[in-house]
Amino acid sequence: MVVAVTYYGMSTFEGPMMSIKSVNAVSHFTDWTIGHVHAGALGWNAFLSFGILYWVVPRLWKTPLYSTKLATAHFWVATVGLITYQVSMWVAGITQWGMWRAFEPDGRLSYPDFIETVIRIVPMYWIRLVAAILFFSGVLMLVWNVVKTIRSAPANFAEEAEVHAPPRVRDVSAPGAVTPANTYDHAFFRIQHELSHGIHRALESRLVLFTVLVVLALAVGSLVEAIPMFFDKDNVKEIASVKPLTPLEVIGRDIYLREGCYNCHSQMVRPFRYETERYGEYSKAGEFVYDHPFQWGSKRTGPDLHRVGGKYPSLWHVRHMDRPASTTPGSVMPRYTHLRTTPFDTSLIGSKMRALRIVGVPYTDGEIDAAPAAIEAQAKTIAAEVEAQQGPRGLADKEITALTAYLQRLGTDIRWKIPQPQAPSIVVPAAPAADPVK
Ligand code: HEC
């Protein structure tokens, strides 16, 4: 309980700190956030649950805990696992941030290849794994201890509990009632006590009503903030050149979702110089108006993809998806070999486009009817491009082609230029004019 309360304090302090812009610049998209949420989930919530279980199970079953030693062992294994986990993620997060934003004195990025920053933190991922195994083995100790305790409970523990149940607190008249210093004799306290217990009990015992009221309270808190934003059209400036995805790209995007690419990739270039130097023009709100659900992501295990369209030839994506290490030695991205052999599914494209139309993507009936033909034409073009680049043949109906179509589209709806390394701005003094005297 002490660890839990400490972690409660630390993570709820860290949370609002991370909403400060300059702190968020470090934590967002890095492993810091992963460390933060695990400090909350493991240190605060899990430890709280452990503490409660060790306290309540022996009391409910009227039996001493099966093994206090095992519980102590659990405490230490979990505490060491927790701290190791958190520290490894903090170190990884700050390392990522430091490397992503490092510039050379002449203004170039120190680590222009993202993979350099990945390789540097791989040891931290191993430490994280060991820490997680430690923590999880502690949970197994708890389960074992609880099961053993319950098994060793006396057969008639429930009856005993009935007989020995202490008098209810609110029954102030009962002999031996728990009324420290006769608090409830005072009329004011008595009324207050009855009121709060009355309302509390009434809600607590009506689960459905209580749930509805909680949902209402939360909805007011969140919708009051959100609804004005939905109706304020000026909030997101529309950009005329931003168009809905083609049907093939819609299929590709769904493959992106299905494969969970967003777990490792963001699509959100922030307006920092170290991001625009690395990825290109920063993302504009108006570029995401047809993006449902948006793919901004929250973690960059791999680089941001919002401006990846046109960065590589299509063959690069075919090779990279098949075996990331073939294009990027040291990559930790998983292989997606099945994309090259599985044909993409076109049967739902009409429903998908109609669904997108409901949420505001302006597909016309004509475009929906023409979708199968459009898919075939675009897929053939990409497959031909891959073949022309000496790549594998026969990809025109494969998932990799739909995914490549989507990736090549990303971030290309507005015009922007790949940042060119700037010429050094040192003023070279002009050579002195020849001395006429000499
Ligand atoms: C486990 C994390 C992880 C997952 C999941 C993942 N990637 Fe990656 N991705 C990486 C890493 C790390 C890199 C950087 C090294 C490299 O290029 O392979 C990367 C690089 C890339 C690049 C090159 C970007 C550039 O600018 O050089 C693309 C494109 C890409 N991934 C697409 C995808 C797609 C599409 C998916 C889903 C099918 C996916 N990734 C899933 C980790 C991941």
Q: Are 286 and 418 in contact (CB under 8 A)?
A: no
Atom of ligand 1 nearest to the CA of 325: 18
The CA–CA distances, whole Å, from 121 to 88, 91, 101, 108, 265 equal 9, 8, 16, 22, 16
Predicted local distance difference test score (pLDDT) of residue 326: 94
Distance between Cα 303 and ligand 1 center (Å): 7
**Where does ligand 1 bind, in terms of residues with CB under 6 Å?**
114-115, 118, 256, 259-261, 263-265, 301-303, 305, 308, 311, 324, 328, 331-334, 336, 403, 407
The CA–CA distances, whole Å, from 337 to 276, 380, 409 equal 32, 20, 22
Report pLDDT digits (tens) over 278-316.
999 999 999 999 999 999 999 999 999 999 999 999 999
What span, in angstroms and rounded, lies between the C-alpha atoms of 152 and 130? 33
Atom of ligand 1 nearest to the CA of 336: 38
Distance between Cα 113 and ligand 1 center (Å): 13
What span, in angstroms and rounded, lies between the C-alpha atoms of 42 and 22? 26
Predicted local distance difference test score (pLDDT) of residue 21: 92
What span, in angstroms and rounded, lies between the C-alpha atoms of 240 and 297? 25
Distance between Cα 83 and ligand 1 center (Å): 29
Query: How crowded is residue 19: how many other Cβ atoms within 10 Å of its Cβ?
Result: 9
Residue of 323, 333, 409 to test ligand 1 pocket, by largest number of atoms within 8 Å of CB:
333
Interior CA angle at 85 toward 83 and 86, to 5°?
65
CB-count burial class (<10 Å; 0-12, 13-18, 19+) for 97: buried
CA-nearest residue, atom 17 of ligand 1: 328
Atom of ligand 1 nearest to the CA of 320: 18
CA-nearest residue, atom 24 of ligand 1: 303
Distance between Cα 287 and ligand 1 center (Å): 22
Distance between Cα 390 and ligand 1 center (Å): 23
Report pLDDT digits (tens) over 316-352.
999 999 999 999 999 999 999 999 999 999 999 999 9
Report pLDDT digits (tens) over 219-266.
887 888 788 887 887 878 889 999 999 999 999 999 999 999 999 999
List of the chain residues with pLDDT < 70: 158-186, 418-438
Distance between Cα 12 and ligand 1 center (Å): 32
Residue of 113, 116, 119, 265 to test ligand 1 pocket, by largest number of atoms within 8 Å of CB:
265
CA-nearest residue, atom 23 of ligand 1: 303
